[in-house]
C-alpha cells in the first residue's frame, strides 16, 4: 500500500500540537500559508496561542541540524506507541514519540504548479491550502492526498474541487464518545407510578423540594446524576440524586437558570445540559466538576 500524504490545516496544529506524531508511516505536508498563520497566532495567553508556540518548538526540534537538501527530501518523523483513529478509521497514532517511522514531514518550498478554479479567486489562506493540495495531486498522481481540517467549510470547498478531506479526531481517547457517562438520564413517563408509592417529601434548609423514592430504576442511578421528565409529561421536572441507600434514593429538585430572575452573574443557561452544569458548579457540596462539550 502506498503511503498517503496528509496536508494539515492550521487549525489542526492549533488544536493538537502533537498531531505531527499521529500519522504512522504516512507523510505530512505543511503549506507555507499554514506557517504564516501559525506565526500570526503565537502571541497571547490563550490555549490556542500556547499550542501554537508548542508547535513551533516541535518543528524547531525536528528541523534542528537539517540543511535545505534534507528538508527537501522530508524530515523523518518519530512514531508513537498507542494508536488512535481519525474520523474514517485510518490507523493514526497518538501519544509520545518513541521510535523511528517511515513517515516524513514536508514543507512547501516552492510555488504550486496547480491552478485554482475561477470560482475560488484571490489570496485567501484557505484557498492557498487547497492550491497546495491540488499541486500535490498533480505531482503525485498515484498517491492519496488528504487534506485534514477541522474547518467544515474548507472541507466542503475541498470536496467541490476534488480534494479528499477528513476531520481530525485523533485526540479523542475513546473511539465512541457515546460510551462516556453523560451525567444525566431521562425518566420513564410512568416514573411516579412505579417509584412514588412509598415516597417521602420535604423541604431542606436551602428551600429545595426533596423526595425519597424507591423502585426498579434506583439501581441504575449515581450520586450527583441528574434525572428529568420531559416537558410534555410534567413541565420539565429536573432532579439530582443526592444520596443512595440500597434500593432507595434521595432526590431534590434543581434550580432553573434558563430564565426569570435566576441568572448567574447575568448569564442564563441555554438548554437543559447547561442548566445541569450550572447547578453542579454552584453546589458547595460538590468539590470537583468535569464537563465535556
Q: How far apart are the first and last CA of the chain?
A: 37
Residues 153-165: pLDDT tens digits?
999 999 998 999 9
Residue 6, phi then psi, degrees to nearest 5: -105, 120
Task: Tell me how far apart the alpha carbons of residues 135 and 137 are, in angstroms, rounded to a whole number.
Answer: 5
Q: Exposed e or buried b for every residue in 280-293, given b needs 16+ CB within 10 A? A: beeeeeeeeeeeee
Residues 41-67: pLDDT tens digits?
999 888 899 999 999 999 999 999 999
Query: In order of start, what are the domains of the chain with their CATH numbers?
Result: 5-166 (3.40.50.1010), 181-281 (no CATH)
Provide the pLDDT confidence category of residue 196 given band limits of 50, 70 and 90: confident
Burial of 67: CB neighbours in 10 Å, binned 0-12, 13-18, 19+: exposed
For the cut 50, the answer to whether the pLDDT of residue 92 exceeds it is no
Task: Tell me how far apart the alpha carbons of residues 266 and 246 are, in angstroms, rounded to a whole number.
Answer: 41
Q: What residue has cell string 498563520?
A: 37
For the cut 90, the answer to whether the pLDDT of residue 292 exceeds it is no
- At 85 the pLDDT is 37
- Compute the residue count for the chain: 293
Quickly list DSSP for 64-95: TT--HHHHHH-EEEEEESSB---TT----B-S
Spatial CA neighbour of 167 closest among 3, 2, 16: 16
Provide the pLDDT confidence category of residue 178 given band limits of 50, 70 and 90: low
Spatial CA neighbour of 12 closest among 161, 152, 177, 151: 151
Task: Tell me how far apart the alpha carbons of residues 275 and 44 are, in angstroms, rounded to a whole number.
Answer: 31
Task: Tell me how far apart the alpha carbons of residues 14 and 28 are, in angstroms, rounded to a whole number.
Answer: 16
Residues 98-155: pLDDT tens digits?
555 568 999 998 888 777 776 666 668 888 999 999 999 999 999 999 999 999 999 9
pTM of the model: 0.57
- At 40 the pLDDT is 92
Q: What residue has cell string 498515484?
A: 142
**C-alpha cell, 115:** 491552478
**Cβ neighbours of residue 28 closer than 8 Å, sequence gap 6 or more:** 5, 6, 8, 20, 77, 103, 104, 105, 106
- At 23 the pLDDT is 87
- At 151 the pLDDT is 93
Average pLDDT, the chain: 84
Task: Tell me how far apart the alpha carbons of residues 83 and 22 are, in angstroms, rounded to a whole number.
Answer: 8
Percent of the chain surpassing pLDDT 70: 84
The answer to whether 20 touches 28, Cβ cutoff 8 Å, is yes
Amino acid at each position: 500500500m502506498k503511503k498517503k500524504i496528509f496536508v494539515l490545516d492550521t487549525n489542526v496544529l492549533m488544536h493538537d500540537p502533537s498531531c505531527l506524531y499521529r500519522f504512522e508511516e504516512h507523510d505530512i505536508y505543511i503549506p507555507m500559508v499554514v506557517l504564516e498563520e501559525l506565526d500570526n497566532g503565537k502571541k497571547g495567553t490563550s490555549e490556542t496561542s500556547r499550542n501554537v508556540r508548542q508547535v513551533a518548538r516541535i518543528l524547531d526540534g525536528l528541523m534542528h541540524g537539517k540543511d535545505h537538501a534534507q528538508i527537501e527530501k522530508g524530515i523523518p518523523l518519530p512514531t508513537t506507541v498507542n494508536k488512535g483513529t481519525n474520523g474514517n478509521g485510518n490507523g493514526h497514532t497518538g501519544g509520545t514519540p518513541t521510535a523511528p517511522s517511515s513517515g516524513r514531514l514536508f514543507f512547501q518550498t516552492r510555488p504550486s504548479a496547480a491552478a485554482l478554479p475561477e470560482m475560488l479567486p484571490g489570496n485567501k489562506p484557505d484557498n492557498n491550502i487547497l492550491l497546495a493540495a491540488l499541486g500535490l495531486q498533480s505531482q503525485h498522481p498515484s498517491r492519496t492526498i488528504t487534506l485534514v481540517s477541522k474547518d467544515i467549510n474548507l472541507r466542503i470547498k475541498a470536496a467541490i474541487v476534488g480534494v479528499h478531506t477528513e476531520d481530525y479526531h485523533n485526540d479523542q481517547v475513546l473511539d465512541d464518545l457515546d460510551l462516556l457517562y453523560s451525567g444525566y438520564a431521562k425518566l420513564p413517563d410512568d416514573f411516579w407510578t412505579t417509584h412514588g408509592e412509598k415516597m417521602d417529601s420535604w423541604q431542606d434548609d436551602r428551600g429545595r423540594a426533596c423526595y425519597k423514592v424507591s423502585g426498579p430504576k434506583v439501581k441504575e442511578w449515581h450520586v450527583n446524576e441528574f434525572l428529568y421528565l420531559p416537558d410534555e409529561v410534567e413541565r420539565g421536572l429536573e432532579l439530582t440524586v443526592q444520596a443512595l441507600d440500597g434500593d432507595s434514593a434521595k432526590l431534590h429538585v434543581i434550580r432553573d437558570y434558563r430564565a426569570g430572575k435566576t441568572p448567574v452573574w447575568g448569564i442564563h443557561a441555554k438548554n437543559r445540559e447547561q442548566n445541569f452544569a450550572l447547578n453542579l458548579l454552584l453546589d458547595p457540596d460538590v468539590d470537583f466538576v468535569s464537563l465535556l462539550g
